[in-house]
Structure 1
Amino acid sequence: MSELGLMGDDRPTTPAGGRRAERRRRRGPGCLIALVILAVLGGAGYWGVTTGIEKVKDQFSSADDYSGPGEGEVVYEVKTGDTATAIGRGLKAAGVVASVDAFIAAANANPQSANIQAGAYSLREQMKASDAVAVLVDPSNIVKTTVTIPEGLQVREIVALLAKNTDFSKAEFQSALKDPGLGLPAYADGDPEGYLFPATYDFGPDAQPLDMLKQMVARWQQAATDNGLEAKAAELGYTPGEIMTIASLIEAEGRGSYKNQISRVIYNRLENPGNGITNGLLQIDASVNYALGKSGSTALTTAEIQSVSDSPYNTYTEPGLPPTPIEAPGDESIQAALNPEAGDWLFYVTVDLKTGETKFTDSYQEFLEFKDEYQNYCATESDRC
């Protein structure tokens, strides 16, 4: 082998070397062709992908949608946790919107759509998707029946108010009151008196009498929990049911800022039955009125008191608490029952019904003086007494 051959002379030295050199010479133009082909294919792929995306976008933005305001009525319920997709599917199934895509596009275009509240809404069939969204983003469009139950109503009065403001009869509510699923606490012994909490309620379009009453009992349970009813009752040495009865008496008798003082009078009479003055008798007019089938704390005649002398609600003849609450107490009265003000009072008289001024004493003689003051007030304000 020559020296030139060892140094890699570019001239062929063997037939095999010649073939390798030939392949190297052919590789250059072959690679160039391949690159050109890949570039063409790549461009075509990009064009295909982008065109496909644009077609999808076009399909989404031009999704089926109704043009008009729609017709008829469809009540649709948005449930807690529903996504825009879930709402869109529900509305499409109900015939409100033409497509889920149209609804989602309309929702995305409305910044308020993230705040759609759960509830039932009155919509139309074949609505434009943006119009449907506009209805849903306004909470004032939630379909509901609003009923306000004031403090101090008896069950019979609450039933009458519910029947007046809904499409159900008194009989239907009275039947629901007997349902074991009402949710009353065990110490209520199945009697709802005092446990239908006074508040403002929003009832949905599908709510039945039992649903409404359960909502009211649940609201009472919330108040009981918030006020620590069971624990504080135990601290005072009473059952939760007894505290609710005391709260109902305070609700019936209390005015203005005097509830905690009235609470103390009740406890003083209950806990000192041998005081030689009241002898454990609460002598609360409102409870006797309950026995008479009346409400409120209007003054009683001797004949009225004697007519229900055997009733356990007659606190002039029966010592201790009545067997159940006599009406529905609100938060303030429950709190007053759990937090009686310190004092040794045994009597109270509201001497001015216009202002609610109430006077307290532990002296029977002073109590009689307060009664005279009340009678003088009534002589000049007969329309209030």
Structure 2
Amino acid sequence: MTDLFHEPAGDEAPAPPSRSHRRAAARRRNQRRKNVVSFLVMVLALVLLVGGAVVFIRPLLTHTPPESNDFPGPGQGSVEVVVDDGDSGTAIGETLTDAGVVKTVEAFTNAYSANPNATSIQAGTYELQEGMRSVDAVAALLDPASRIDLRLTVPEGWTVAQIYGKMADLLMVPVEDVEAAAEKLAASALPESAGGELEGWLFPSTYTLSPDDTPASVLERMLDKMISELDAREVPEKEREALLIKASIVEKEGTEQYWGKIARVVENRLEGCSGDGRLGMDATYVYRLGKKANDITSEEWRKDDPYNGREGPPGLPPTPIGAPGTGAIDAVLDPPAGDWCYFVSVNLETQETKFTDDLKQHLKNQEEYRQWLREQTSAPTETGE
């Protein structure tokens, strides 16, 4: 047996580790301690980091921003507000806040102060929206189009006398000033066939007046609008006066659904369907006398007046009898074909109107109308020819 297989006796102690072994073991123990400490430091740092994030981020996630003192706009609906003479920005803001136009007086006064033109806001009645941004409310108050009391609305059929009176009120001038401006405009801008009369030439619409407007400037705008409508329809200048006369009569004699037929009756009457070339329509004489048809006396009906469609001269009256709109103008320009010579509204509630070319049938239709009148508690003005 060789010593390669020799084992020490059981009572022999193992040889002690060498110095190098002891130093290696110590280094390993130190490294393990350092690793543990580093790990603990990392864990602590991570805990601190997460905790700090929670502390700082949570308020950001749960924070509710302060409520704005202004509406986001743009607004909806409409509301009328009045700015009184001498109102300050704060006073206007209080008015708008009470009306629900702006959210707070503070927001409005800030917008008012930021707009260098805000001090130019005029006293008057304005149409604004509810829920507007304050800057938009200031801008609207500076826009003349928002001024209700500076809107001249001319309905279809209004006469120049009605237009002049309304314009004088809005511009706060004597009606004589408006009439003088109208006379100058008529002399310089109307075709010769108009005879120097603006009646029928002022287009019915809504016009916004600015503080700089005068009777002359507003009248000119209204005349220009009518001329532009006639230009668009390519109406020859020499035919315009007659067209406006016919259209004004058509508009006064019936409702829109019958304008075309009434326009044809006008043409047929002028061509002699009734035997005398007279229009026979009450509206022209009503215009002349300024009273209702059944208030006109028998003596007045017998007068030979150019506006008296029953006993006056044949043909058209000298001027239009109001301001016709585009609907009546178009009806005259293109009336439907038909041989109707007479018409009468047999029921003023439904506006049912009957047309015929036979005088006997027309008389029966008139009697139908009178029967309807007898069934009413009050008798309205008779219409129809």
Structure 2 length normalisation: TM-score?
Answer: 0.60
Gap change, CA 1:261 and 1:211, over 3 Å in 2: same
Paired letter, 1:183 = A
Partner of 2:68: none
1:252, 1:297 within 8 Å by CA — same for their partners in 2? no
Gap change, CA 1:343 and 1:281, over 3 Å in 2: same
User: Once the two structures are superposed, what CA deviation does each residue of 1:88-125 show, in whole Å capped at 9, x if it has no partner?
Assistant: xxxxxxxxx99xxx98xx9xxxxxxxxxxxxx96289x
2:281 aligned to 284, 287, 291, which one? 284
Partner of 1:216: 222
Gap change, CA 1:121 and 1:359, over 3 Å in 2: farther
Partner of 1:335: 330
Paired letter, 1:343 = G
Gap change, CA 1:140 and 1:178, over 3 Å in 2: same
2:343 aligned to 348, 361, 364, which one? 348
Question: Aligned partners of 1:315, 1:223: CA distance in 2, in Å?
Answer: 28
Query: How is 1:55-204 mapped onto 2 (pairs within 5 angstroms)?
Result: 122=121, 134=135, 138-139=139-140, 141-143=142-144, 144=147, 145-180=150-185, 183-204=189-210
Gap change, CA 1:333 and 1:298, over 3 Å in 2: farther
Gap change, CA 1:270 and 1:299, over 3 Å in 2: farther
Q: Which has the larger radius of gyration?
A: 2
Paired letter, 1:221 = I
Question: Aligned partners of 1:198, 1:369: CA distance in 2, in Å?
Answer: 37
Tell me the C-alpha RMSD between the 2 structures.
3.2
User: Equivalent pairs: percent with the same residue?
Assistant: 34
Gap change, CA 1:301 and 1:227, over 3 Å in 2: farther
Question: Aligned partners of 2:294, 2:203: CA distance in 1, in Å?
Answer: 23
Give secondary structure in 1 for the equivalent of 2:264.
Answer: helix
Question: Aligned partners of 1:159, 1:267: CA distance in 2, in Å?
Answer: 31
Unaligned ranges ≥5, structure 1? 1-70, 75-96, 107-119, 125-132, 232-237
Question: Aligned partners of 2:257, 2:267: CA distance in 1, in Å?
Answer: 18
Q: CA deviation at 1:137?
A: 7.4
More moved, 359-368 vs 204-213: 204-213
User: Once the two structures are superposed, what CA deviation does each residue of 1:140-174 show, in whole Å capped at 9, x if it has no partner?
Assistant: 54135102111111111211222233312211111
Give secondary structure in 2 for the equivalent of 1:350.
Answer: strand
Query: How is 1:249-268 mapped onto 2 (pairs within 5 angstroms)?
Result: 249-268=249-268
Question: Aligned partners of 2:175, 2:287: CA distance in 1, in Å?
Answer: 20
Divergent runs of 4+, >6 A: 71-74
Partner of 1:302: 298
User: Once the two structures are superposed, what CA deviation does each residue of 1:283-333 show, in whole Å capped at 9, x if it has no partner?
Assistant: 010111222234x76675433312xx2221112121111111111111111
Question: Aligned partners of 1:221, 1:380: CA distance in 2, in Å?
Answer: 46
1:369 matched to 2:364? The reply is: yes
Question: Aligned partners of 1:242, 1:377: CA distance in 2, in Å?
Answer: 35
2:185, 2:216 within 8 Å by CA — same for their partners in 1? no
1:286, 1:298 within 8 Å by CA — same for their partners in 2? no
Partner of 2:46: none
Give secondary structure in 2 for the equivalent of 1:359.
Answer: strand
Partner of 2:97: none
Give secondary structure in 2 for the equivalent of 1:179.
Answer: helix
Paired letter, 1:291 = R
Question: Aligned partners of 2:143, 2:173: CA distance in 1, in Å?
Answer: 21
Partner of 2:243: 243
Unaligned ranges ≥5, structure 2? 1-85, 90-111, 124-133
Question: Aligned partners of 2:121, 2:307: CA distance in 1, in Å?
Answer: 48
Question: Aligned partners of 1:285, 1:204: CA distance in 2, in Å?
Answer: 39
Gap change, CA 1:250 and 1:121, over 3 Å in 2: farther
State how many pairs are aligned. 257
